[in-house]
Amino acid sequence: MKFFVDTADIKEIKDLAATGMVDGVTTNPSLAAKSGKKFVELITEICAVCPGPVSAEVTALDHATMMKEAEVLRKIAKNVTIKVPLTPDGLKTCKALSDDGTMVNVTLCFSPAQALLAAKAGAAFISPFVGRLDDVGQDGMELIDDICTIYRNYGFATEVLVASIRHPMHVVEAAKIGAHVATMPPATLRQLFNHPLTDKGLKAFMDDWAKTGQSIL
């Protein structure tokens, strides 16, 4: 499974990229607004740090303007992935960009039917939002299972990018189902390292080593 970090914080991206855990970056208008930077400059900076796919979302709602915005964004770097909403105009834009060799991430997916449409439009990634479904009493992971099954049935190349991840178990369950990518906030990615028995075991090792009075250096 690939790990994407869902943030526009350059310091966080650099720090996590140093662990070798970051395969890509996802952003959205809300995250970009929090950064306080101009959007094109922000995406340029992220692409320089992360060689993997970097999702840059259009803000237009109509196809013609989406295409104009995409033309600006995809010139930034070869690893820019244009992010479009799962709407008729978004899928029309996805089809046009995909046919032209540009990676497209179709976002705000909440049903298997929507995911099927995105795959047929040539999306490189589909972003189902598991946390937001959980918030309204639906099982977000059931959606991931359904999408993965449908894509396997027909051999779609579209990768399932699990979004709106709230905790490590979302990541584990998505991996068990066979999703291709999990995108998560930096704090959630760091939580994957944590286990009390790891901390306890390390403390015991260090305590025993200290008693020997030795030093490797």
Express as a percent the part of the chain with pLDDT over 90.
Answer: 100
Q: What is the CA 60 to chain-centroid distance, rounded?
A: 21
* Dihedral sign computed on CA atoms, order 126, 127, 133, 134: positive
83, 120, 200, 203: which is the annotated catalytic residue?
83
Residue 83 is among the residues annotated as catalytic for this protein: yes
- If you compute the radius of gyration of the chain from its CA atoms, what whole number of angstroms results? 20
The arithmetic mean of pLDDT across residues 174-201, rounded, is 97
Q: What is the pLDDT of residue 199?
A: 96
Report the SS3 class of residue 38.
coil
- At position 53, the amino acid (one-letter code) is P
Average pLDDT across the chain, whole number: 97
If you average pLDDT over residues 109-130, what whole number do you get? 98
- Residue 25 CA to residue 5 CA, distance in Å, equals 5
Give the pTM. Answer: 0.94
Give the model's pLDDT for residue 178. Answer: 98
The pLDDT of residue 46: 97
Q: What is the distance between the alpha carbons of residues 46 and 26, in angstroms, rounded to a whole number?
A: 10
- In the chain, the domains with their CATH numbers are 2-212 (3.20.20.70)
Q: What is the pLDDT of residue 45?
A: 96
Average pLDDT over residues 111-125: 98
pLDDT at 151: 98
Kindly report, residue by residue over 35-81, the tens digit of the pLDDT.
999 999 999 999 999 999 999 999 999 999 999 999 999 999 999 99
Q: How far apart are CA 68 and CA 130, in angstroms?
A: 30
Residue with structure tokens 């094109």? Answer: 40
211 pLDDT tier (thresholds 50, 70, 90): very high
pLDDT at 202: 97
